[in-house]
Structure 1
Amino acid sequence: MTKVRETMDENEDFEIEQTSMTDDVEAAHEDGVAKAPPLEAVLSPLLFEVVQLSEARTFTLARHEWRVGNYRLLEEPSGVCVCTKTGLIHLYEIYNVKTGATLEPIGSECIKMFGEDRMLEEAAQLRELVQLQKIAVDRVPLDLKGHFSKRVLAGLFLHGAFQPCYANGYDAERDYEFLLGQFNKRSKPALEEIRRVDAILRRGNNSVRAWLLRRAEEYGDSIEAPFLEKGGAA
């Protein structure tokens, strides 16, 4: 956590410098200074694109308009970020909630550059869901304490992985809350609880495993944020 905080602090300093330069350039253009440098000459490729696709005209304000909308895991380190960094395997698409614009591919370090905790959480959640999907595809039995986290369980619920059925009284949230309770439980579970966990995670077409396999077949090693799947930004 300290390392992330330090990275974000460094990016804030960089951002202030970049923003100041941008404001100077904009002011120069407004004052009719013919030799004012274009914005693309002042900002990095990513920051320039972010500002161009936002309502706000400086990165300091524009960064608040963006969310992480999609994640892809590459088999080889062949990805190239908008910032021009190469050798990436974790690629994200970001989405502007005000303009509807999207920007990709974005690397993990550039997600941190926005300094938005929500974006960091969204990126981590999408990444962990794809990792869980790969575990299911590899036919490894899903283990609640070994393969899941609170973040993953919340992501599964948001994505609709828990299906309404007779066993949960046609209320999918009950399965999510039950698994969350079992995940947090320190004492040894009862036999009935073990059987219910097994049913939710691994048994039948309504299980989490079945949902993960269906997604893997349809989308491969990628996943969209729930607010994009539902056709809008939250």
Structure 2
Amino acid sequence: METSCLCGKENIRYLFTIKNTLTGLELEPIGSQCIKKFEREDLTDLTVTYEKLFKLKSALLNNEFIGLSSKYFSRKLIKYFFDEGVYNCDFNNHEGQNDYDFLIKMFNKKNKDSISKNQQKKINAIIINQIIPYLKGLLEKDS
């Protein structure tokens, strides 16, 4: 597996492909640090989101406990899941906005000890019933 960036730096953990939507040309493999040199906030934000997504997939593969913490999540990743329709499911009548708003509110809490047992149950339910199945689907596509 290729682990070197176009710039020559080796043993890169996160490699990406950048595609020019106008010409269809692709630039690959490129490391996350080189992406930042383009000084485009949208690319940098997307890179950070995908890094978190990779960490989540790795945690799932390693059977790690996945909690709503900055170790695995960011506001942008929570939004990414919303944009991908991950929160739209049967038990919330396919109204993912409420689950998105709830996760953002819980993620933003400075004092995580103030999260009630019922709130923690809802967080766990969203992770187990919505996010993990989505991640499993991505892992299946990767293999």
> TM-score scaled to structure 2, two decimals?
0.83
Q: SS at the partner of 1:207?
A: helix
Distance 2:126 2:87 in 1: 8
Q: Decide whether the 8 Å contact of 2:57 with 2:135 is kept in 1.
A: yes
Larger relative contact order, structure 1 or 2 (CA cutoff 8 Å, min sep 6): 1
Distance 1:153 1:189 in 2: 18
Aligned to 2:47: 123
CA, structure 1 residues 185+87, in 2 after alignment: closer, same or farther (shift >3 Å)? closer
Aligned to 1:100: 24
Aligned to 1:70: none
Written as runs of structure 1 = structure 2, the 5 A alignment for 1:1-234 is: 78-145=2-69, 146-165=71-90, 167-186=91-110, 188-202=114-128, 206-220=129-143
Gaps of 5+ in 1: 1-73, 221-234
Moved over 4 A (4+): none
Distance 2:10 2:73 in 1: 31
Distance 2:108 2:122 in 1: 16
Give a deviation string over 1:66-100, Cα, whole Å, max 9, x none. xxxxxxxx6xxx52323344333321100112222
Q: Decide whether the 8 Å contact of 2:52 with 2:72 is kept in 1.
A: no
Counterpart AA for 2:55? Q
Distance 2:93 2:87 in 1: 12
CA, structure 1 residues 195+119, in 2 after alignment: closer, same or farther (shift >3 Å)? same
Q: Give 1 or 2 for the bigger CA radius of gyration.
A: 1
* Residue-pair matches, total: 140
Shift of 1:122: 1.0
Gaps of 5+ in 2: none
CA, structure 1 residues 191+103, in 2 after alignment: closer, same or farther (shift >3 Å)? same
Q: Judge which range, 129-138 or 99-108, deviates more.
A: 99-108
Distance 2:96 2:34 in 1: 36
Counterpart AA for 1:164? C
CA, structure 1 residues 170+96, in 2 after alignment: closer, same or farther (shift >3 Å)? same
> TM-score scaled to structure 1, two decimals?
0.54
% same residue: 27
- Name the Cα RMSD after superposition: 2.1
Distance 1:138 1:121 in 2: 26
Counterpart AA for 1:209? I
